[in-house]
Amino acid sequence: MPKLLCPHCLQPLDGGYRGECPHCGRSLENRNPEGALPLGTQLGGRYTVGAYLSADGDGLAYRGVLNDEKKFVLIKEYFPVTLCNGRSADGALMPKEEKEVLFKTSRMDFKDLYDDLKNLTPATGLSTILDVMEENNTVYAVEESEKGMTLSHYLHLRSRTLTPAEARTLLQPIMEGVALLHKSGLIHRGICPDNIVLPIDGTARLTGYGTLALRTGGSELKSQLYPGYAAPEQYSAAEFSGRYTDVYALAAVCYRMVTGQTPVAAPQRKVRDSLESAHSLEAGVPTWFSQVLACALRLDPAKRMQTVPELMSALTDPNVANAMFEKGDNQISTRKIMAVSLVVIFVLVALLLWSLIGGSKADSTPAATPQPDIADSAADAENIDGTYETTDFLGNATTLHGYDAANRHITISDAEFYTWMDVIWANPADYDGWTLTVTGEVDKASREMDADEFIPARLIMTCCAADLTPCGFVCKWAQADTLATDTWVTVTGTLYQRQYADHSEPQLQVQSVAPAEPVEGYIYPYY
């Protein structure tokens, strides 16, 4: 029997999964929903199941622990709800009558996919699969747990769109990873901002792998399609998907990054194609770049750009983009693409070799790739005299203050405002019901809010003064209309989770509001 570890702070447990962890003070009670594996379940003699995270057509996702290495992981369990009658007392899945064959074949597809990914990763732009194992009449895939945030969260926090150069730089490793998938005969079929993670090392990685049945609109398994990013062929069981399907999704992600808008969903476009060009929505997007995205987002797969290397080359160089289209008909000229792309590829390879041989020897400034925020509140956390151990935005160990586990209360200082915000945003369920005290400037205009809502905000700058953005927790208070914008207040309230737009976020139910002295300066998290 492996040594029991706290699934929150990785410290050893002597009393089992009951009460609160003596090290970090968090609850060890099983709060996973009925039907999911209980918190503390041991798998393969190597892994401990932590908190339930989500469900999709393939199955259930959990936070987990690799016991021997005291390391956080993600665990995905094959559990197609449309094919299962739940779980037996010993944890084994029970397929529905007359669904046994489909259950087994889909389970085999799940295992084969993750076996292939395990052999393929680690690789640039792809989240690493560490292990695949069979247990409980099902299959478990263990994925590396990245410290960072999703691209959708990053875009939500930004006050402006990305430039084409910024978008291309951020997406480059993702496109390289997808190209590798295609070379290995795999198609992702679920590329979207929610499935792109920005870790602390700055290299974006793609996750959200799923079996073909998951991505097929007419299958018996629940479809996991991402409106705006799913290609039209994914909505029809009669149409085949291919590499061009992932090309559509990558172009849609790039479109969202440079315009700030999600593309019109494919089914609506097939009725009336109202997709505006990227250039018409954002004047800073060059016409050639906009045309490349339009070509990759064509509804007809045969008229769409076909491969990811083509897309990479066309988004990199206007000469490639201009060579893509024949005069007058705006159709793809494959011969021209190949001719110009070879030149671009040669240049890129030369630059890569230079960076490996000579460039690394010289002092240099890191590229202007958006650096994601660290977002793993459970990483090495420990309650020591009101302190909390975590990792800062650059991956360095840091100590936060104002942490009172006994009373479930966090007091946020000015200097630690953004770090604490990231810690709580990363795992809001861990702090549900906690009391928070925070000081900020009253903001009611940076996002759509109800009359009883406001944000005690601080200004965050990710690059320069042009992108200063208010950040903080939305507060619910019946007397919010009495607060004047731009005045400073100290707020104490209870944390809870609320649905906003297409995501869940932590908010505060206000207990008290008091005037506060203004705090000079803004927050720049990447020092």
Q: Indicate the length of the chain as a whole number.
A: 527
Can you tell me which residue has the tokens 């005069």? Answer: 327
Block residue for tokens 């478990």: 140
Q: What sign does the dihedral 15-17-23-25 (CA atoms) show?
A: negative
Q: Which two tokens stand for residue 48?
A: 């401990």
HSE-up of 194 (CA within 13 Å, CB side)? 15
Q: Which residues pair with 95 in a beta bridge?
A: 84
- Asked, as a colleague might, if the bond just before 366 is cis with ω within 30 of 0, I would say no
Distance between CA atoms of 493 and 483, rounded to whole angstroms?
16
Maximum C-alpha span of the chain: 75
Contact predicate 133/118, CB 8 Å: no
Can you give the pLDDT of all 527 residues of the chain as single tens digits? Answer: 567 888 888 888 887 788 888 888 888 888 888 889 998 899 988 999 988 988 877 789 999 999 888 889 999 999 988 888 889 989 999 999 888 888 898 899 889 989 999 999 888 899 999 999 999 999 999 999 877 788 998 888 887 889 999 999 999 999 999 999 999 888 898 899 999 998 876 789 999 887 654 444 444 444 567 899 999 988 876 667 789 999 999 999 999 999 999 999 998 898 888 899 999 998 889 999 999 999 999 998 888 988 999 999 889 888 877 776 643 344 444 444 444 444 444 445 455 455 445 444 444 333 333 333 333 333 334 444 588 877 654 455 678 889 988 888 999 988 888 888 888 877 777 888 899 999 999 988 766 788 889 999 888 765 554 446 778 899 999 889 889 888 999 999 999 887 665 567 889 999 999 988 888 776 655 44
Q: Strands 129-135 and 138-144, how do they pair?
A: antiparallel
Judged by DSSP in three states, 371 sits in coil
From the list 180, 160, 150, 222, the residue with the least C-alpha distance to 373 is 150
Q: pTM for the complete prediction?
A: 0.62
Q: Which domains are present in the chain?
A: 42-144 (3.30.200.20), 148-359 (1.10.510.10), 388-515 (2.40.50.140)
